Amino acid sequence: MNAFPPLFIERLNVIIPPENIVSVLEQFSVKKKLAFRVNTLKAKVSEVLEYLQAQNFFCRPVSWNSKAFLADIDSVIDLNKTGLMADGKIYIQNLSSMLPALILDPHPDDYVLDLCAAPGSKTSQMADLMSNKGEIVAVEHIKPRFYKLKSVLSISGVLNTQCYLSDGRRFRHPRGELFDKILVDAPCSSEGRFSCLAPKTYAYWSIRKIKEMQKKQRGLLLAASRLLKSGGTLVYATCTFAPEENEAVVDWLLRKADNSFHLVPCTITGVKDYRPILHWQGKDFSSEVKKCFRVLPDHQMDGFFIACFKKD
Residue 166 lies in a domain: yes
Q: Are residues 70 and 192 in the same domain?
A: no
Last residue of a domain, one of 66, 93, 120: 93
188: closest CA among 243, 254, 256?
243
Q: How many CB atoms lie within 10 A of CB 157?
A: 18
Residue 116 domain boundaries: 6-23+94-311
Reading phi first (left if > 0) and then psi (alpha if -120 to 50, else beta), residue 178 is in beta
Q: Which of 239, 266, 292, 308 is catalytic?
A: 239
Could you give the number of structural domains in the chain? 2
Residue 262 forms part of a structural domain: yes
Q: Does pLDDT of 1 surpass 60?
A: no
Instruction: Give yes or no for residue 2 having a pLDDT over 70.
Output: no
Average pLDDT, the chain: 95
Q: Cis omega (within 30 of 0) on the bond before 100?
A: no
| 246 and 139 belong to one structural domain | yes
Domain boundary among 62, 78, 93: 93
**Residue 73: pLDDT over 80:** no
Whether residue 237 sits in one domain with residue 298: yes
237 pLDDT exceeds 90?
yes
The answer to whether residue 82 is domain-embedded is yes
Give the count of alpha carbons within 13 A of 208, CB side only.
1
Percent of the chain having pLDDT more than 90? 90
Amino acid at 74: D
Q: What is the DSSP string of 20-49?
A: THHHHHHHTTSPPPEEEEE-TTT--HHHHH
122 and 43, same structural domain? no
Does one domain contain both 176 and 277?
yes
Do the Cβ atoms of 101 and 122 come closer than 8 Å? yes
Angle (nearest 5°) at CA 189 between 284 and 242: 20
Q: Please indicate, yes or no, if residue 28 is contained in any of the structural domains.
A: no
Average pLDDT over residues 138-152: 97
Q: With contact defined as beta carbons under 8 Å apart, do 285 and 248 qualify? A: yes
202 and 57 inside one domain: no
Do 129 and 208 fall within a single domain? yes
Tell me which DSSP letter residue 277 carries.
Answer: P
CATH code of the domain containing 155:
3.40.50.150
Q: How many CB atoms lie within 10 A of CB 7?
A: 11
Q: Are residues 79 and 216 in the same domain?
A: no
CATH of the domain at 47: 3.30.70.1170
How far apart CA 99 and CA 107 sit, in angstroms, is: 16
Tell whether 134 and 186 lie within a shared domain. Answer: yes
The reported pTM is: 0.96
* Pick from 75, 77, 70, 34: nearest CA to 49: 70
pLDDT tens readout for residues 274-312: 999 999 999 999 999 999 999 999 999 999 999 999 999
Which of 93, 122, 139 terminates a domain? The answer is: 93
Asked if the structure places residue 190 within a domain, the reply is yes
The secondary structure element, H or E, covering residue 213 is: helix 207-226
Does some domain include residue 270?
yes
Q: Of 214, 120, 181, which Cα lies nearest the Cα of 308?
A: 181
Statement to judge: residues 101 and 220 lie in one domain: yes
109 and 199 part of one domain: yes
Q: Is the domain of 274 the same as that of 238?
A: yes
Per-residue confidence band for 227, with pLDDT thresholds at 50, 70 and 90: very high
Give domain status of residue 77, yes or no: yes
239 catalytic residue (yes or no): yes
Asked if residue 156 is part of any domain, the answer here is yes
